């Protein structure tokens, strides 16, 4: 057995637990109760009077509707719960919701009667400050932060109150995740299986599934037998199905897989463009605001060079050479231990007698199965697992020492067609030698480059997995990286991971685009793929029109060349999730750079801007749920203006000397051809015009000066908003009328579930006017229309007005 210390045994448990993200509301605000135990269910409401399980005689889940929409592997899950209070008194309850590891929250809300109260994304420090301010009034908001942060809990529990006597409470959640393709199959799971909370009975459950792909689809396979689905439509590239049932007691997750049937490798490209200027005050980056009218594209390459059928493993009986590394430091205790044992058992259990392997256990020391690799016979597999079971969790984690020993042991492995493989199972949290990502990665790369080289693939386990470090380690040797919470079901991920080990990857996958004036395409360097899998590229384009996309890569069968043409649209909002996918890819690239090179102000500002614009949580932002009256933007005071200067091309340096004594060097923005700096103006500076002295130096070393004037304007636009009519039916138009200051440079209006609209000057009305189309599927209720404006000093203002949506 693995133990927590010398002589103290710890049996490997098979608990089925999951980490949760939880939130709720007190009156109109959400209240954090604390870190919750792990849970598997998606939507459990536990009466406060019952400590650990639902009780349908008190709070019943009468209605649960789920919409699963998958478009080009992007799955959007919308869940609505309606709970009924079966008692004669107002009560409160603890709400729990499990979100898959690879998902990110897109929206959540609670309804207070017929009024929907959504959460918002804020900069993390701001969210914390507002949270503490509201908490001091005993109206604690719900604060949802990214898992793994040093001072953020990995799960949240909140209470939902009040739930009126014999009344109901409606709670909504929406999240998105990008489904992987493995062996030409994709897998989706909605957590419903009971955990330590017991069974949450469901009065009526409706699940609608819609799958669309750029490739032919086949074989929708629902796992288990509790949720038999009915196929509503099945066409070459689309599948629609549903499940409906009453009086359910879920005993398993709702999960399904589907196959992608392509006889050869293919490239599929789609695009999105819906020009809309977004507030620079919201984005905190003027250059981003200028680019919001540009379009987005998604290019997906699906590799099937062997022409095999879905679900058939490409590796076959090819011999493999593998060194397994298992982290046995104390940080791997608890449920991580359970998942780590499950993983190593699956990996070693997949070996065949033609394979050669060795096993290394490491913490602050290392232990090898043997001095030489051995065949993957049943006897040697059992001997390796006996070593695991007889080991102890102890000490810290020394990655440098472990990699030195591992690469020496890997050098003794035979060099087979798939190369030497090192498989690492860990939470990625070093504590000894060095903890810095760049030092660990550089040390591993240097040791590996001395040869013979091995390909490192990493299976991370734990909500606190250090994703950045492990991803960089895998990337450094063109290996595979997958991670999972310790509470997730690993069956599909383990199988997909195992099938790739020993397979020769498809290397140096690159995308080139002729036309469209594309930029910020991610991945931005050669990446790695596998037979039967997909690789996605996400990017921006400035110019609508015809474009040619060319993908190149190298494989053991030779060079790969795929091509596709697309008319990049001037306006097309059919694939509305592409912008969010691109933003997530951009943020991931910035976070990877921060992981290697440390934080910098520009990257953090851009991450915050993108998170707020595209609505997802990052290490620098949080989801905050509270009444809108408590979240209104503060007046923008003198504090963080931007100075931009256009100069002659011969100028090589610009230094600004401000009237309050600050001296700052400007940075040159090549893509815009201007010099720029941000400066902190003293908070006691009065509104008005000021002069700044610019000292410029050209290529010959000559210096000269100029004065540039700037204005401090801390007063945001004043907004007077009305809606005509004040109540309307879903599917109809309403007229937004805004009267504001003359220096307002743009105005937009937003409603949940509808695209934002511009509000522009109308001379006849002597006001700014916009028309908002209400989505036809919008449920009846009272909604909040948010109007955002910005003036030329980039002061932002927000006003809100209620709109009653009537049933059609």
Cis peptide before 76 (omega within 30 of 0): no
Predicted local confidence at residue 726, as pLDDT:
87
Confidence check: pLDDT of 318 > 90: no
Confidence check: pLDDT of 384 > 50: yes
Q: What is the CATH number of the domain that holds 617?
A: 2.60.40
Q: Which of 77-91, 173-187, 320-334, 616-630 has the lowest mean pLDDT?
A: 616-630
The DSSP output letter for 37 is P
How far apart (Å, rounded) are the C-alpha atoms in residues 182 and 201? Answer: 34
Name the pLDDT band for 241 (thresholds 50, 70, 90). Answer: very high
Predicted local confidence at residue 641, as pLDDT:
66
Q: Write out pLDDT tens, residues 470-496.
A: 888 888 888 888 888 766 667 778 888
Predicted local confidence at residue 7, as pLDDT:
30
User: Nearest CA to 440 among 418, 456, 452, 453?
Assistant: 456
Q: Among 466, 500, 534, give the residue marking a domain's end.
A: 500
Name the pLDDT band for 469 (thresholds 50, 70, 90). Answer: confident
The answer to the question of residue 289 being in a domain is yes
Judge whether 755 and 275 are in contact, CB under 8 Å. Answer: no
Mean pLDDT of 575-589: 88
Q: Which of 224-228, 363-367, 698-702, 748-752 has the lowest mean pLDDT?
A: 698-702
Q: Which of 325-329, 485-489, 579-583, 754-758 has the lowest mean pLDDT?
A: 485-489
Confidence check: pLDDT of 136 > 60: no
Q: Write out pLDDT tens, residues 28-45.
A: 223 223 333 344 456 777
Cα dihedral 145→151→153→158 (10° resolution): -70
Predicted local confidence at residue 125, as pLDDT:
61
Residue 34: helix, strand or coil by DSSP? strand
How far apart (Å, rounded) are the C-alpha atoms in residues 480 and 493? Answer: 12
Q: How far is CA 132 from CA 34, 121, 461, 530, 629, in A?
A: 15, 16, 33, 48, 16
Confidence check: pLDDT of 550 > 60: yes
The answer to the question of residue 711 being in a domain is no
Considering the domain architecture, whether residues 592 and 694 belong to the same structural domain is answered as no
Q: Write out pLDDT tens, residues 680-695.
A: 777 677 777 677 888 8
Judge whether 560 and 567 are in contact, CB under 8 Å. Answer: no
Sheet containing 760-762, strands listed edge to edge, beginning at the edge strand earlier in sequence: 720-724, 733-739, 767-773, 760-762
Percent of the chain with pLDDT over 70: 79
Considering the domain architecture, whether residues 293 and 335 belong to the same structural domain is answered as no
Confidence check: pLDDT of 246 > 90: yes
The answer to the question of residue 519 being in a domain is yes
The answer to the question of residue 534 being in a domain is yes
Confidence check: pLDDT of 106 > 80: no
The tokens of 747 are what? 């105005």
Mean pLDDT of 271-283: 60
CB atoms inside a 10 Å sphere around CB 329: 22
One DSSP character per residue, 609-667 reads: HHHHHHT---TTEEEEES-GGGSPPPP--SS--EEEE---TTEEEEEEE-TTS-EEEPE
Q: Write out pLDDT tens, residues 607-664.
A: 888 887 887 777 777 666 555 444 443 333 344 566 777 777 778 888 888 887 788 8
CB atoms inside a 10 Å sphere around CB 177: 19
Considering the domain architecture, whether residues 610 and 631 belong to the same structural domain is answered as no
Residue 454: helix, strand or coil by DSSP? strand
Name the pLDDT band for 314 (thresholds 50, 70, 90). Answer: very low
Q: Among 578, 593, 621, give the residue marking a domain's end.
A: 621
Token pair 């109206």: residue: 139
Token pair 């909604």: residue: 783
Mean pLDDT of 353-369: 90
Predicted local confidence at residue 41, as pLDDT:
53
Predicted local confidence at residue 637, as pLDDT:
38
Q: Which of 159-168, 258-267, 629-638 has the lowest mean pLDDT?
A: 629-638
Considering the domain architecture, whether residues 449 and 359 belong to the same structural domain is answered as yes
The answer to the question of residue 154 being in a domain is yes
Confidence check: pLDDT of 409 > 80: yes
**74 — phi, psi (to 5°)?**
-85, 115
The tokens of 310 are what? 């879905």
Predicted local confidence at residue 564, as pLDDT:
93
Q: Angle at which helices 437-449 and 467-476 pack, to 10 degrees?
A: 20
Considering the domain architecture, whether residues 41 and 179 belong to the same structural domain is answered as yes
- Pairwise pLDDT comparison (710 vs 583), residue with the higher score: 583
Confidence check: pLDDT of 144 > 60: no
Considering the domain architecture, whether residues 491 and 533 belong to the same structural domain is answered as no
Q: Among 621, 639, 658, give the residue marking a domain's end.
A: 621
Judge whether 757 and 772 are in contact, CB under 8 Å. Answer: yes
Predicted local confidence at residue 453, as pLDDT:
86
Mean pLDDT of 710-736: 85
SS3 of 104-173: the string is: EEEEEEEEECCEEEECEEEEHHHHHHHHHHHHCCCCCCEEEECCCCCCCCCCCEEEEEEECCCCEEEEEE
Predicted local confidence at residue 281, as pLDDT:
41
Average pLDDT, the chain: 78
Q: How far is CA 573 from CA 67, 272, 542, 727, in A?
A: 20, 5, 16, 27
Q: Look up the domain containing 464 and give its range.
A: 321-500
How far apart (Å, rounded) are the C-alpha atoms in residues 756 and 183? Answer: 40
The answer to the question of residue 659 being in a domain is yes
Q: What is the CATH number of the domain that holds 151?
A: 2.60.40.1730
The tokens of 744 are what? 């307002």
Considering the domain architecture, whether residues 585 and 669 belong to the same structural domain is answered as no
SS3 of 218-262: the string is: EEEEECCCCCCCEEEEEECCEEEEEEEEEEECCCCCEEEEEEECC
The answer to the question of residue 311 being in a domain is no
Residues 6+ apart with CB under 8 A from 35: 153, 154, 155, 156, 157
Sign of CA dihedral 700, 703, 707, 713: positive
Mean pLDDT of 244-268: 87
Name the pLDDT band for 711 (thresholds 50, 70, 90). Answer: low
Judge whether 164 and 85 are in contact, CB under 8 Å. Answer: yes
Judge whether 659 and 686 are in contact, CB under 8 Å. Answer: no
Considering the domain architecture, whether residues 184 and 250 belong to the same structural domain is answered as yes
Q: How many domains does the chain have?
A: 5
How far apart (Å, rounded) are the C-alpha atoms in residues 465 and 429? Answer: 7
Residue 602: helix, strand or coil by DSSP? helix
Rg (CA), the chain: 28
**103 — phi, psi (to 5°)?**
-95, 160
Predicted local confidence at residue 36, as pLDDT:
36
The DSSP output letter for 332 is G
Name the pLDDT band for 793 (thresholds 50, 70, 90). Answer: low
The tokens of 192 are what? 């419903």
Confidence check: pLDDT of 127 > 80: no
How far apart (Å, rounded) are the C-alpha atoms in residues 348 and 384? Answer: 8
Cis peptide before 523 (omega within 30 of 0): yes
Instruction: Give the bridge partners for 177, in sequence order.
Output: 75, 103
Cα dihedral 163→627→25→177 (10° resolution): 120
795-798 own/partner pairs: CB under 8 Å, 24+ apart: 795/281, 795/635, 795/636, 795/713, 795/714, 795/715, 795/716, 795/717, 796/279, 796/280, 796/281, 796/282, 796/633, 796/636, 796/716, 797/633, 797/716, 797/717, 797/718, 797/719, 797/740, 798/632, 798/633, 798/719
Considering the domain architecture, whether residues 582 and 471 belong to the same structural domain is answered as no
Q: Which of 218-222, 602-606, 618-622 has the lowest mean pLDDT?
A: 618-622
Confidence check: pLDDT of 368 > 60: yes
Considering the domain architecture, whether residues 289 and 355 belong to the same structural domain is answered as no
- Pairwise pLDDT comparison (709 vs 337), residue with the higher score: 337
Q: Write out pLDDT tens, residues 492-547.
A: 788 888 888 877 888 889 999 999 999 999 988 778 888 888 899 999 999 999 99
Name the pLDDT band for 792 (thresholds 50, 70, 90). Answer: low
Longest pairwise C-alpha distance within the chain: 87
Considering the domain architecture, whether residues 12 and 94 belong to the same structural domain is answered as no
Q: How far is CA 642 from CA 231, 675, 677, in A?
A: 56, 10, 6
H/E element, 298: strand 295-302
The answer to the question of residue 536 being in a domain is yes
Confidence check: pLDDT of 310 > 80: no
Q: What is the CATH number of the domain that holds 748?
A: 2.60.40.10
Judge whether 103 and 177 are in contact, CB under 8 Å. Answer: yes
Considering the domain architecture, whether residues 330 and 459 belong to the same structural domain is answered as yes
């Amino acid at each position: 057995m693995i133990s927590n210390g010398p002589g103290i045994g710890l049996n490997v448990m098979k608990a089925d637990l999951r980490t949760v993200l939880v939130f709720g509301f007190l009156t109109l605000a959400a209240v954090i109760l604390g870190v919750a135990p792990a849970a598997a269910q998606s939507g459990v409401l536990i009466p406060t009077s019952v400590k650990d399980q639902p009780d349908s005689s008190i709070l019943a889940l009468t209605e649960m509707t789920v919409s699963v929409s998958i478009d080009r592997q992007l799955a959007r899950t919308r869940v609505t719960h309606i709970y009924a209070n079966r008692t004669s008194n107002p009560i409160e309850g603890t709400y729990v919701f499990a979100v898959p590891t690879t998902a990110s929250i897109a929206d959540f809300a609670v309804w207070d009667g017929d009024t929907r109260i959504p959460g918002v994304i804020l900069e993390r420090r701001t969210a914390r400050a507002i949270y503490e301010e509201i908490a001091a009034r005993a109206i604690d908001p719900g604060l949802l932060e990214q898992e793994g942060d040093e001072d953020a809990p990995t799960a949240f529990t909140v209470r939902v109150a009040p739930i009126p006597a014999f009344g109901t409470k409606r709670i909504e959640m929406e999240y998105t995740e990008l489904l992987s393709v493995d062996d030409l199959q994709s897998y989706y799971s909605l957590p419903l299986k009971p955990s330590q909370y017991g069974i949450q009975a469901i009065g009526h459950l409706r699940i609608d599934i819609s799958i669309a792909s750029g490739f032919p689809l086949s074989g929708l396979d629902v796992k288990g037998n509790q949720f038999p689905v009915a196929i509503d439509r099945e066409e070459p590239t689309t599948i629609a199905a549903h499940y409906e049932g009453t009086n359910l007691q879920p005993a398993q997750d709702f999960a399904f897989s589907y196959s992608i049937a392509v006889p050869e490798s293919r490239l599929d490209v789609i695009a999105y463009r819906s020009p809309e200027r977004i507030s620079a005050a919201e984005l905190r980056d003027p250059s981003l605001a200028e680019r919001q009218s540009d379009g987005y594209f998604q290019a997906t390459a699906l590799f099937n060079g062997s022409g095999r059928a879905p679900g058939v493993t490409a590796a076959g009986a090819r011999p493999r050479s593998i060194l397994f590394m298992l982290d046995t430091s104390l940080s791997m205790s608890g449920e991580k231990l359970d998942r780590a044992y499950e993983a190593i058992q699956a990996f070693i259990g997949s070996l065949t007698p033609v394979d050669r392997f060795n096993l290394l256990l490491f913490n602050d020391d290392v232990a090898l199965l043997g001095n030489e690799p051995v065949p993957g016979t049943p006897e040697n597999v059992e001997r390796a697992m006996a070593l695991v079971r007889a080991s102890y969790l102890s000490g810290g984690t020394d990655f440098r020492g472990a990699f030195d020993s591992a690469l020496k042991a890997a050098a003794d492995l035979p060099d087979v067609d798939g190369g030497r493989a090192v498989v690492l199972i860990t939470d990625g949290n070093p504590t000894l030698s060095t903890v810095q990502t760049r030092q660990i990665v550089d040390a591993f790369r240097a040791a590996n480059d001395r040869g013979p080289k091995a390909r490192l693939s990493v299976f991370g386990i734990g909500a606190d997995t250090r994703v950045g470090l492990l991803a960089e380690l895998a990337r450094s040797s063109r290996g595979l990286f997958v991670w999972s919470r310790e509470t997730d079901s690993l069956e599909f991920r383990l199988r997909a991971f195992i099938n790739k080990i020993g397979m020769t990857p498809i290397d140096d996958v690159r995308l080139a685009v002729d036309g469209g004036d594309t930029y910020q395409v991610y991945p931005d360097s050669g990446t790695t793929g596998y037979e039967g899998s997909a690789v996605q590229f996400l990017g921006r384009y400035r110019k609508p029109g015809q474009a040619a996309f060319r993908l190149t890569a190298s494989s053991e069968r030779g060079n790969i060349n795929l091509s596709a043409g697309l008319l990049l649209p001037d306006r097309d909002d059919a694939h509305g999730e592409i912008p969010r996918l691109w933003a997530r890819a951009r943020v991931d690239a910035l976070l990877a750079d921060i992981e290697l090179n440390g934080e910098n102000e520009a990257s953090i500002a851009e991450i915050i801007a993108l998170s707020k614009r595209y609505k997802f949580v990052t290490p620098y932002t949080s989801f905050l749920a509270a009444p809108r009256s408590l979240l209104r933007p503060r007046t923008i005071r003198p504090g963080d203006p931007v100075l931009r200067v256009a100069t002659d091309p011969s100028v090589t340096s610009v230094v600004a000397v401000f009237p309050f004594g600050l001296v700052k060097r400007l940075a040159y923005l090549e893509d815009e051809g201007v010099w720029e700096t941000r400066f902190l103006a003293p908070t006691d500076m009065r509104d008005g015009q000021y002069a700044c002295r610019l000292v410029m130096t050209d290529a010959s070393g000559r210096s000269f000066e100029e004065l540039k004037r700037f204005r401090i304007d801390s007063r945001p636009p004043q907004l007077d908003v009305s809606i005509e009519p004040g109540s309307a039916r879903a599917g109809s138009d309403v007229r937004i009328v805004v009267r504001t200051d003359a220096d307002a440079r743009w105005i937009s209006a937003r409603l949940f579930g509808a695209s934002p609209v511009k509000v522009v000057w109308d001379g006849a009305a002597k006001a700014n006017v916009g028309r908002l189309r209400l989505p036809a599927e919008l449920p009846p209720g009272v909604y909040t229309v948010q109007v955002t404006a910005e003036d030329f000093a980039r002061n932002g203002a927000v006003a809100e007005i209620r709109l009653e949506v009537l049933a059609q």
